[in-house]
Structure 1
Amino acid sequence: MIPLVVPPETFDPVVREALDILIGSWREGFVQVSGFVGATVLLFSLVQYRFDGRLTAWLEEHERAQPLAGALLGLTPGCGGAIIAMPLYIRGTVSFGTVVAALAATAGDSAFVILALAPEAALYAYGLAFVAAVLFGYAIDIWGLGVGRVDRMVEGMSRPITDGGFATTNVADGGPSVPDYDAAHGRGAPACADHAHRDGRTLPGYLPESRLLERASHAIHVLWWVVLAGALVAGVLYLARGAAEPAWEFRATYDGLFTIAGLVGTTLSFYLYFVGRHYIGEGDAGRVRDSFGSLYGTFQHAAMETAMVTVWVIAGYLIYEYGLAIFGFDVAALAAAAGVLAPLAGAALGLVPGCAAHIVFAQLYALEEAIPFSALTANAISQDGDALFPLLAIDVKAAVVATIYTTIPAVIVGVAVHYLWPFAQFGFGVI
């Protein structure tokens, strides 16, 4: 991360480093992640708009095809496809095996790095991830594979935050741990901190009734799409230039586009998530829509979903970067560990939600030749990208169980590649 150009005497060194991480993450998260997420979520939303809910109905009617469909969603570059699968599980449309298949198949936004810099490695690594995701997803749906035991263990460790005080259904029983989403979010119950909006929606207690804020939120939503288009262009150029860190600029250049789109896009996303969505009809982020009444509503839904992911992405970036600064955690050293520890390290890193750590991991493979192909493959299977965030936002227990279960095929395949394909070498990566 390139530090800000600020005179050294302006801040204490510790404060300066903390600000560098905060503002750098604020800039990079939207360009490196949200631009691609927004494009893919919009694509799937437009498909829903075009087919008017028939795809969701098809999934409900063809349960045997669900893990395969989940893996295909996850296989799409970025996180948009897998993100679509999470609310489907929350509402009970798809099985838990489908969730695991989608998360195991996705390589998040690190896929764009590998596809751009080492496409042959992407073909093999993501092909293996897809096969493992399909097989493991069906195995969970058919045999369970001990999901119930892990589910009960997670519930015992973290009951206060996983079920929110509402009646729960075990993940092993085929449903989310908060099956009644409306009940879990207070609908039909007496209002507390929320108050009714004039069109039937509810506003949080910290927001006033305001026609001005409603109009401003619509305007900001439109502006957000303009900024996202710029971020997408900057993100593509970022990959085309070998993922080199752009300088801090506020001019009509690539570096300026990266900086302005990143800072403005993240700021607008935070507004939309915490304020705007409550005024323009998409207050329930993380919920799937069967159909959309208008093209504008389709764009609106995609923007709110991406804004939610952006908030979680920035949180993930900050936790990761501050963790590196405080504890000196060295991803390269862990990834380059000798022997079979390399794929084990790649699989373990996959437990970290979000894309920040995994983008770095992909760069270590494609640019620095610091990790073996077995570790890249294990990480591709284990990591859940930003697709885990919608599940975390609504059903923490299911999210924890799912991320544990994507680690299992990652370890198996990673170790198998290490022992059975020891000389695999693709793109710029080395064994």
Structure 2
Amino acid sequence: MNELLTVLLESLRDGYVQVSAFVAVTVLAFGLLQYWTDGAVIGAIEDNERLQVLFGGLLGLTPGCGGAIVVMPLYLRGTVSFGTVVATLGATAGDSAFVILALAPEAALYAYAIAFVASVATGYLVDSVGLGVSRIDDAVARLSPDATPDGGTVVNGGVGPNPTHDYGGPAPTHAHETGPDRHSRVLTPLSHLAHVAWWGIAVAGLVLGSLYLLRGGPEVPLALGVGFEGLFTVVGIVGSALSLYLYAIGRHYVGEGEIARARDSFGSVYDTLTHAAMETSFVTVWVLAAFLLYEYGVLLTGVNVASLAAAAGVLAPIGGAAVGLIPGCGPQIVLASVYAGGELPFSALTANAICQDGDALFPLLAVDAKAAIVASIYNFLPAVVVGVALHFLWGPVFGMAEYGFGVL
């Protein structure tokens, strides 16, 4: 029982200080950019057809899913190309990026740079020559005779209205005009107080997390006190507790009441701060779930993941790409955590980075599942090619070990 409790407390602490505090900064930065430009970023993407694929890749490259989620409604409106969707989803590293950036920053630099180049190249190929879109459309259509896959709708003809997305009304967006869905004399002020306290803890967590990285990512024992170990422990556990409260309760009384959605613009700085806090709390829940799943799995089963990956050989990057096909960030965070533990090869991490879409695929799945399937297929193919190539070339050519590369 003591060991199980220790794993729980360490996961709560490490998940917040090592990952969530950095999530907060990037999500807030993107939100403030939207607030200061009043949605001009989205306008620039829609108005520059030749650069849309590149812009999509850059938005996908931002840690988390916020940048990529912004692009999906634009495709549904018919204002960006399908190649832009492919590039955006392929470059998206999702919330697992925060794990790798915090625990293996050098590996993140290489993996996400490779994913960006491969995804943008694939996106331009889709828009310029189709890259076999019609055949994939036919294959998807056979799965569902009534399906109207639209992967090839915006190819060779520039960007234009998509006939399969004629809604007969305003194009769907992911901005929420309504506020919280409930009001309470107690929980509403308490949730605002928790939100303010959360940001104070987030600042402290960012400082402690930065010091942790500067020290080379050492083992930090659970402790209480005013020293580094004590503050690291207290701030991490309190931050996770506040995040769980905001996710489970607070979001119904503060902010939009919804999570994992993009916003075109924000009404105020406080609105922007609230959105960032709620999104980060959502990420924190995923991170904690992934950490606990992996740690308890290893503890209770005794499975040596490193041995399994080593035995997989060239199948490891293919497996990494296959995991990337699973929508959402949970499985990807698990894979990133395993890599950060030195138990997966770099080729598997890179293949997963190219293939995974994080939470960005959900808006597309909800409105046009067939287009989402086609986009996922396009992500999987370059992921396997690049991953297998890295498996054979990374060590011999670059003189770098696949296992543990870039891990602090």
Q: Which runs of 5+ in 2 are unaligned?
A: 155-161
Contact 1:382-1:407 at 8 Å conserved across structures: yes
1:34-183 equivalences in 2 (<5 Å): 34-76=20-62, 78-79=63-64, 82-90=65-73, 92=76, 97-107=83-93, 108-113=97-102, 116=105, 119=106, 122-141=108-127, 143=130, 144=133, 148=137, 172=151
The structural deviation recorded for 1:314 is: 2.7
- Structure 2 Cα separation of the partners of residues 169 and 256 of structure 1: 58
Contact 1:140-1:147 at 8 Å conserved across structures: no
Secondary structure at 1:109 match in 2: helix
- Structure 2 Cα separation of the partners of residues 409 and 287 of structure 1: 28
- Structure 2 Cα separation of the partners of residues 104 and 424 of structure 1: 25
The structural deviation recorded for 1:47 is: 0.9
Q: Which moved more, 1:133-142 or 1:322-331?
A: 322-331
- Structure 2 Cα separation of the partners of residues 396 and 140 of structure 1: 18
| Counterpart pick for 1:246 among 199, 220, 226 | 220
- Structure 1 Cα separation of the partners of residues 15 and 280 of structure 2: 12
Q: Which moved more, 1:293-302 or 1:305-314?
A: 305-314
Contact 1:41-1:84 at 8 Å conserved across structures: no
1:157-176 Cα deviation digits (max 9, x unpaired):
xxxxxxxxxxx985746899
- The corresponding residue for 2:12 is 26
- Structure 1 Cα separation of the partners of residues 221 and 351 of structure 2: 33
- Structure 2 Cα separation of the partners of residues 267 and 427 of structure 1: 40
Contact 2:354-2:379 at 8 Å conserved across structures: yes
1:235-286 Cα deviation digits (max 9, x unpaired):
2233333333321122223322332222222222222223222222321323
| Counterpart pick for 1:332 among 281, 303, 306 | 306
- The corresponding residue for 1:413 is 386
1:204-215 equivalences in 2 (<5 Å): 209-215=183-189
- The corresponding residue for 1:11 is none
Secondary structure at 1:72 match in 2: helix
Distance 1:413 1:55, change over 3 A: same
Aligned-residue sequence identity (percent) comes to 45
- The corresponding residue for 1:281 is 255
- The corresponding residue for 1:382 is 355
- Structure 2 Cα separation of the partners of residues 212 and 323 of structure 1: 39
Secondary structure at 1:280 match in 2: coil
1:137-177 Cα deviation digits (max 9, x unpaired):
33445633766467668989xxxxxxxxxxx9857468999
Task: Please report the TM-score for the alignment, with normalisation by the length of structure 2.
Answer: 0.75
Secondary structure at 2:255 match in 1: coil
- The corresponding residue for 2:191 is 217
Give the aligned length: 380
- Structure 2 Cα separation of the partners of residues 200 and 122 of structure 1: 38
- The corresponding residue for 1:300 is 274
Contact 1:231-1:257 at 8 Å conserved across structures: no
Q: Which runs of 5+ in 1 are unaligned?
A: 1-5, 9-15, 157-167, 188-198
Q: Which moved more, 1:144-153 or 1:125-134?
A: 144-153
The structural deviation recorded for 1:413 is: 0.7
Q: Which moved more, 1:101-110 or 1:282-291?
A: 101-110
Letter in 1 for 2:381: I
Q: Considering only aligned residues, what root-mean-square deviation do their CA atoms show, in Å?
A: 4.1
2:246 is equivalent to residue 272 of structure 1:
yes
The structural deviation recorded for 1:399 is: 7.0
Letter in 1 for 2:310: A
Q: Which moved more, 1:103-112 or 1:90-99?
A: 90-99
- Structure 1 Cα separation of the partners of residues 240 and 144 of structure 2: 34
- Structure 2 Cα separation of the partners of residues 246 and 234 of structure 1: 12
Letter in 2 for 1:86: I
1:361-384 Cα deviation digits (max 9, x unpaired):
4435xxx5x655434433433345
Secondary structure at 1:282 match in 2: coil
- Structure 2 Cα separation of the partners of residues 239 and 181 of structure 1: 47
1:286-365 equivalences in 2 (<5 Å): 286-325=260-299, 328-337=302-311, 339-351=313-325, 353-354=329-330, 356-364=333-341
The structural deviation recorded for 1:122 is: 4.9
Contact 1:154-1:400 at 8 Å conserved across structures: no
- Structure 1 Cα separation of the partners of residues 138 and 286 of structure 2: 29
Letter in 2 for 1:312: W
Letter in 2 for 1:44: F
- Structure 2 Cα separation of the partners of residues 171 and 325 of structure 1: 46
- Structure 2 Cα separation of the partners of residues 380 and 89 of structure 1: 19
Distance 1:390 1:339, change over 3 A: closer
The structural deviation recorded for 1:55 is: 0.8
